[in-house]
Amino acid sequence: MTAPALVQKLWSSYEKVRSTAFEGHIHHQILGYPTPVQNPDMEMECQLASNGVNVGSSEEGYKDPRVPELKAGAGEWKLLLQVDTDKDTGWMWGDVGTLYFWIREADAQRDDFSKVWMIFQCC
């Protein structure tokens, strides 16, 4: 088995265990890795959107000619906060969705929360 194939297999196993642990439970969290409802590549979505590429309504934005040069900066984005739908608080994000708040690591280190991006995902 090649190294990339092994990494993919291990990642798939990890994701299965992780999703099982939270299945059916509310999952709010601060920092760490998100539990995506849809697109797992939210870092790239933040990078593109924060640079003026419209990725909110179609795949068209990913065809923007600036995507290759912007792609390198996607790794700078870190999950700040994940807020799940929660009937006990009366929070309902769309159709049982989740809000994800992202920040560039350098901005977080400067306590600059003016550039936080929010991504909404629902079933």
Residue 15 confidence (pLDDT): 67
* Most confident option among 10-24, 38-52, 65-79, 104-118: 104-118
> Measured between alpha carbons, how far is 8 from 17 in angstroms, rounded to an integer?
14
Residues ≥6 apart with Cβ < 8 Å to 5: none
> Measured between alpha carbons, how far is 95 from 22 in angstroms, rounded to an integer?
18
112 has pLDDT over 80: yes
19 has pLDDT over 70: no
The encoded tokens of residue 6 equal 């092994």
> Measured between alpha carbons, how far is 55 from 36 in angstroms, rounded to an integer?
17
Q: Domains of the chain by range and CATH?
A: 25-121 (2.30.320.10)
Residue 77 confidence (pLDDT): 96
Using CA atoms, how far residue 5 sits from 19, 30, 33, 118, in Å, is: 21, 31, 22, 32
Mean pLDDT of the chain: 82
Residue 81 confidence (pLDDT): 92
Token pair 């798939």: residue: 12
Question: Concatenated DSSP letters for 56-73?
Answer: SSSGGGGGSTTHHHHHGG
